[in-house]
């Protein structure tokens, strides 16, 4: 049977997006797709046009050149499309490149497209690759649909069925299933999958999955050892570099993190997140030139993207402050306010402004900015990370503002009462400010207050006084809006009331919001997944 006949049935009912900046190549690739049997083909000359097409509606298959001239490249386009939920497990994304170097292959798989093709592309190669991918994706379509609907328990059951029906595709299904178990708070089942695979084959993603579990559990030494060995065997595994650097940063080993990130960036320099991480590590090591270069590259890479974050603005502002360039730092923070909307970025910029004014001796401006930041943090409606809040408290102590500094540190400790690392950091700040004994008493009192709030809520719930428990926990949330344990207890009580009285949309939304915030603060907390699974079972 000819290639053209084979392709017509496979491709005719699917929509295609072709992203290529050279018009002549667009024509060639579009003709190849038509000869394969494709009927619905849209074309884009750059990433901006491609995003507009993707936002208008679903594209089953994306054929994207890596180099797209000025603006975003194919890797950045894929990352942004995934971030906006425009492509998912049921879509096919093939990256096209003319380069055959190992570095280019590493870049091509940076964001894990489904496959990549080397130019010149032939009809036979294109059709063969697409037919295999379409067959594989079709088999997983119901699983992908359940995941999009956040029906994770259903997706797990569908994975079990699919493995029996399609044992030849079992590795990809197992990979999905392991990720689902982590989402629903059953990491031990993820571990069992990884262990079973590794008992038969040396599969790099299973080794990476185990290392990731170790990081989430706080076993950073074990994770580091696994990741170092994995990278010896597979130096192109970029996610492993990122996770290893994260583990080193968690331990305060900034020089090691900088070393690992430098290796990753040498292989693939176009990730703004990786450049940000390098900038932060270099800044901690007081390598200001490296930090400045990394933050500037991160800003450039994210300039035309919707994936902008405040991190490179804040990091570069801190570099400028350390270089005694307050005017440049303030100019950059003003640019942050214009470039990124939202309360969080605004608050982060204002907190950094306090440090800039203090370092340059502008006491009045520092005090005014400090007053605004403090009221916004303590309202609980706006978020500054605990580490950044403690840094801010340290600045307040240097400014002589003891009351505000102590209030901020109390807020951090109450909301993170089980976090020993943050408690130690708070004590360090108190010691630097000459408040050692007072600080120890304050930290102990704040942790005790939080513990009592947890215990009272749990006690009322265990006695069956669910409405009283919910009222108490809502009051506690006003004081501790970022305490993950409290948030999860709150979600537990709401779910118990839903089980008792029946489903209510507003209460489900309230519980889901608490779980989501808790998961953002503690990504590895398995109770988040367990409670989400319970919530799903009530639908």
CATH number, domain at 263?
1.25.40
Is 48 domain-assigned? yes
End position of a domain, from candidates 246, 276, 293: 293
User: What is the pLDDT at residue 5?
Assistant: 38
Count the domains in the chain: 4
13 vs 156: which has the higher pLDDT = 156
- Same domain? For 100 and 29 the reply is yes
In a domain, 341, yes or no: no
Query: Whole-number mean pLDDT of the chain?
Result: 86
**Domain final residue, candidates 139, 159, 188:** 139
Q: What is the CATH number of the domain that holds 111?
A: 3.40.50.2300
**Residues 128 and 28 placed together within one structural domain of the fold:** yes
pLDDT in tens, 155-211: 999 999 998 888 877 888 899 999 999 888 889 999 999 999 999 989 899 999 999
pLDDT tens per residue, range 83-134 = 677 887 778 999 888 765 545 455 444 456 778 788 888 888 888 888 888 8
Cα distance between residue 488 and residue 485, in whole Å: 5
* Residue 253 token pair: 């080993």
Do 66 and 107 touch, CB atoms closer than 8 A?
A: yes
Residues 134 and 186 reside in one and the same domain? no
446, 449, 450, 456: CA torsion to nearest 10 = 180
Residue 299 CA to residue 308 CA, distance in Å, equals 8
- Asked if residue 406 lies in contact with residue 394, where contact means CB atoms within 8 angstroms, the answer is no
Check residue 340 and report its DSSP letter: S
Residue 8 binned pLDDT confidence (cut-offs 50, 70, 90): low
Residues 95 and 193 in one domain: no
Q: Are residues 132 and 158 in the same domain?
A: no
Residues 9 and 121 in one domain: yes
**Residue 133 shares a structural domain with residue 195:** no
Q: Measure Cα distances from 174 to 158, 163, 529 in Å.
A: 11, 8, 18
Q: What is the mean pLDDT of residues 240-257?
A: 93
Q: What's the pLDDT at 304?
A: 66
Q: Is the pLDDT of residue 31 over 90?
A: yes
Judge whether residue 6 has pLDDT over 50.
no
Q: Is the peptide bond before 309 cis (omega within 30 degrees of 0)?
A: no
Backbone angles phi, psi at 499, to 5 degrees: -65, -35
- Report how far residue 313's alpha carbon sits from residue 515's, in angstroms, rounded to the nearest whole number: 30
Task: Note the pLDDT of residue 277.
Answer: 95
Whether the Cβ atoms of residue 447 and residue 480 lie closer than 8 Å to each other: no
Summarize pLDDT for 142-153 with one digit per residue, the tens. Answer: 888 888 787 888
268 DSSP assignment: -
Residue 380: pLDDT over 80: no
pTM: 0.75
- Residue ending a domain, among 110, 139, 168, is 139
Tell whether 166 and 206 lie within a shared domain. yes
Residue 154 lies in a domain: yes
Residues 154 and 72 in one domain: no
DSSP track, 25-84: HHHHHHHHHHHHT--EEEEESSHHHHHHHHHHS--SEEEEES--SSS--HHHHHHHHHHT
Q: Is residue 380 part of a domain?
A: no
Residue 108 is predicted with a pLDDT of 46
Name the band, by pLDDT with cuts 50, 70 and 90, for residue 221. Answer: very high
Element (H, E) at 498: helix 484-501
Backbone angles phi, psi at 85, to 5 degrees: 75, 25
Residue 177 belongs to some domain of the structure? yes
**Judgement on whether residues 212 and 247 belong to the same structural domain of the protein:** no
Please compute the mean of the pLDDT values over residues 381-399 and round it to a whole number.
Answer: 79
Centroid of chain to Cα 84: 13
Q: pLDDT of 321-354, one tens digit each?
A: 999 999 999 999 999 989 988 887 888 898 899 9
Q: Half-sphere exposure of 13 toward its Cβ, with a 13 Å CA cutoff?
A: 4
> How crowded is residue 282: how many other Cβ atoms within 10 Å of its Cβ?
26
| 8 Å CB contact between 158 and 190 | no
pLDDT of 2 reads 32
Quick check: 512 and 479 in contact, CB under 8 A? no
Percentage above 90 pLDDT, the chain: 38
Contacts of 356 (CB under 8 A, 6+ apart): 317, 321, 326, 329, 330, 333
Residue 37 in any domain: the answer is: yes
Q: Is residue 95 part of a domain?
A: yes
Give the model's confidence band at 381: pLDDT under 50 very low, under 70 low, under 90 confident, else very high.
Answer: low
Residue 379 vs residues 113, 151, 478: alpha-carbon distances, Å: 43, 34, 8
Let me know whether 48 and 168 are in one domain: no
If one counts every other C-beta atom within 10 angstroms of the C-beta of residue 419, the result is 18
Please spell the DSSP secondary structure of 396-429, one letter per residue.
HHHHT-HHHHHHHHHHHHHHTTT-HHHHHHHHHH
Res 399: pLDDT: 84
Confidence of residue 366 (pLDDT cuts 50, 70, 90): confident
Phi and psi, residue 59, nearest 5°: -120, 120
Residue 306 has pLDDT above 80, yes or no: no
Same domain, 10 and 112: yes
Which residues span the domain enclosing 533?
A: 464-537
Backbone angles phi, psi at 63, to 5 degrees: -110, 110
């Amino acid at each position: 049977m000819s290639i053209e006949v084979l392709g017509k049935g496979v491709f005719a009912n699917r929509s295609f997006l072709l992203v290529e900046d050279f018009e002549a190549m667009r024509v060639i690739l579009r003709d190849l797709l038509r000869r394969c049997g494709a009927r619905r083909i849209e074309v884009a000359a750059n990433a901006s046009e491609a995003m507009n097409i993707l936002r208008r509606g679903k594209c089953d298959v994306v054929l994207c050149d890596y180099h797209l001239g000025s603006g975003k490249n194919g890797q950045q386009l894929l990352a942004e499309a995934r971030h906006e939920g425009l492509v998912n497990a049921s879509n096919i994304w093939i990256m096209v490149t003319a380069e055959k170097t190992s570095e280019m292959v590493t870049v091509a798989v940076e964001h894990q497209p489904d496959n990549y093709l080397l130019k010149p592309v032939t009809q036979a190669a294109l059709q063969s690759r697409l037919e295999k991918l379409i067959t594989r994706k079709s088999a997983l379509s119901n699983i992908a649909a359940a995941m999009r609907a956040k029906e994770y328990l259903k997706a797990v059951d569908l994975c079990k069925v699919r493995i029996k029906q399609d044992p030849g595709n079992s590795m990809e299904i197992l990979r999905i299933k392991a990720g689902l178990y982590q989402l629903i708070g059953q990491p031990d089942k993820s571990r069992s999958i990884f262990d079973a695979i590794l008992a038969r084959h040396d599969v790099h993603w299973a080794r990476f999955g185990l290392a990731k579990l170790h990081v989430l559990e706080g076993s950073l030494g074990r994770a580091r050892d696994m990741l170092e060995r994995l990278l010896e065997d597979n130096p192109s595994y970029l996610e492993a570099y990122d996770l290893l650097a994260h583990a080193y940063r968690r331990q305060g080993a900034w020089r090691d993190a900088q070393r690992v990130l430098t290796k990753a960036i040498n292989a693939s320099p176009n990730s703004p997140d990786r450049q940000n991480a390098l900038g932060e590590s270099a800044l901690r090591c007081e390598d200001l030139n490296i930090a400045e270069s990394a933050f500037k590259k991160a800003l450039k890479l994210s300039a035309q993207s919707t994936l902008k974050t405040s991190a490179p603005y804040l990091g570069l502002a801190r570099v400028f402050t350390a270089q005694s360039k307050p005017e440049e730092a303030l100019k950059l923070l003003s640019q942050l306010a214009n470039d990124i909307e939202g309360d969080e970025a605004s608050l982060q910029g204002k907190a950094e402004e306090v440090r800039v004014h203090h370092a340059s001796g502008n006491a009045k401006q520092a005090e005014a900015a400090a007053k605004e930041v403090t009221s916004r943090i303590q309202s609980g409606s706006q978020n500054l990370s605990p580490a950044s809040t403690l840094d801010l408290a340290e600045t307040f102590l240097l400014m002589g503002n003891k009351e505000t500094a102590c209030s901020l540190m109390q807020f951090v400790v109450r909301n993170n009462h089980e976090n020993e690392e943050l408690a130690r950091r708070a004590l360090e700040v108190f010691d630097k400010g000459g408040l050692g004994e007072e600080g120890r008493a304050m930290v102990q009192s704040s942790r005790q207050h939080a513990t009592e709030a947890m215990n009272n809520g749990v006690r009322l719930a265990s006695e069956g006084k669910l409405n009283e428990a919910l009222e108490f926990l809502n009051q506690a949330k006003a004081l501790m809006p970022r305490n993950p344990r409290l948030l999860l207890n709150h979600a537990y009580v709401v779910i118990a009331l839903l089980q008792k009285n029946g489903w209510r949309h507003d209460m489900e939304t309230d519980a889901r919001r608490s779980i989501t915030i808790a998961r953002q603060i503690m990504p590895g907390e398995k109770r988040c997944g367990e409670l989400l699974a319970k919530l799903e079972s009530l639908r």
